[in-house]
Amino acid sequence: MHMANKLNPWAAIGVALLYLLFVFASCFIGFLHPACWAYFSVLAAILAVGPYFWLAARWQRFGVGTVLALIVCLFCLATGEAGGLLSKAIILGGGILADIVRQFARNSSRKSLYCAYPFLAIGNIGWIIRLWSDKQFYYDGAVEEMGQAYAEGIKALQTPGHLVAVIVLTAAVAILGVWLCTKVDKKSSILMK
């Protein structure tokens, strides 16, 4: 029996919650500057890769990305974050796409994580997609919550170019994160081919 089949359910729940914690904690950097808010998914990609890598090494089947994205969606629903159907669809869609990609690239392959994890990480952009899809709503909310100067910073980031930059940087950092995990988390790494 392969070690990957010995997934402790309590450990898996704890690690999945750690993933959520890292994604959520990444949002707090947005208090520093509007650019930190718009690019929070880049930080989330590097912080949350460890829990994803650990789970993926031990759960070598379809579902890791979907479950992690679902946990983020449920958290957003419970707390009123990531408003709108589009936000949740992007978050959950990223998780499902990560699992589809991983399935095609062989779930037991370390290389599959390089292809799959960026989709899960990019899905977290759904948390703030209204920054680009509903610009006035986001601007008004920023004025109310953070003040006029912060809102003006948000307005400057509401361009298609910034959205593309967020996607590209998130994907690049996600790939870097997987590479780092293969070097640091040897125990999980040896569970995959």
Per-residue pLDDT, 126:
96
Per-residue pLDDT, 107:
86
Q: Report d(CA 161, CA 154) in Å as an integer.
A: 14
Q: Report d(CA 152, CA 144) in Å as an integer.
A: 12
133-139 mean pLDDT: 94
97 and 91 Cβ atoms separated by less than 8 Å: no
CB atoms within 10 A of CB 33: 12
Per-residue pLDDT, 67:
97
Q: Radius of gyration (Cα) for the chain, nearest Å?
A: 17
Place of tokens 């292809």: 115
Per-residue pLDDT, 49:
98
Model pLDDT for residues 146-183, shown as the tens digit of each residue: 999 999 999 999 999 999 999 999 999 999 999 999 99
Per-residue pLDDT, 1:
32
95 and 65 Cβ atoms separated by less than 8 Å: yes
pTM flag (> 0.85): yes
Q: Which two tokens stand for residue 56?
A: 């993926």
Could you tell me how many residues make up the chain? Answer: 193
Place of tokens 């995990």: 181
Residue 2 has pLDDT above 50, yes or no: no
Q: Report d(CA 57, CA 49) in Å as an integer.
A: 12
Which of 111, 101, 117, 5 has its CA nearest to residue 59? 5
Place of tokens 């979907």: 66
Per-residue pLDDT, 5:
52
